Amino acid sequence: MAETCPAYAEGYNQRAFANYLRQGFSATLVDLDRAIDLSPHHIGAVSGRALTLMGQGRMGEARVAMLAAIALNPWLPERALIDPGGPLASLETDL
């Protein structure tokens, strides 16, 4: 893919998705980062990055990435992951 269409963000996003399904999270992040470099507002790549980081157990980074995705699309279904009780909910509490 990189040889034929090196600037095609969706190609990297699709390969990332295939790697994600195989739980090849390291390879997934490489492709998602490239997709985001090429298209910073690619909502699928930005939210996919959050889900991939979550799959690696990197919850703090996943939360930051999910907030970035929600900033791009406030109606993103995955936003429930940051709601209270969700796996990416803030650990801070109001006292």
**What does the pLDDT read at residue 95?**
47
Specify the pLDDT at position 6: 84
- pLDDT score, position 90: 85
* CATH match for 9-82 among 3.10.20.520, 3.40.1360.10, 1.25.40.10, 3.40.50.300: 1.25.40.10
Any idea where the domains of the chain sit in the sequence?
Answer: 9-82
CA separation, residue 90 to residues 14, 21, 68, 71 (Å): 30, 27, 15, 16
* Confidence (pTM): 0.89
CB 30 within 8 A of CB 43: no
- What are the tens digits of pLDDT across the range 6-49? 889 999 999 999 999 999 999 999 999 999 999 999 999 999 99
> What's the pLDDT tens digit per position in 50-90?
999 999 999 999 999 999 999 999 999 999 999 999 999 98
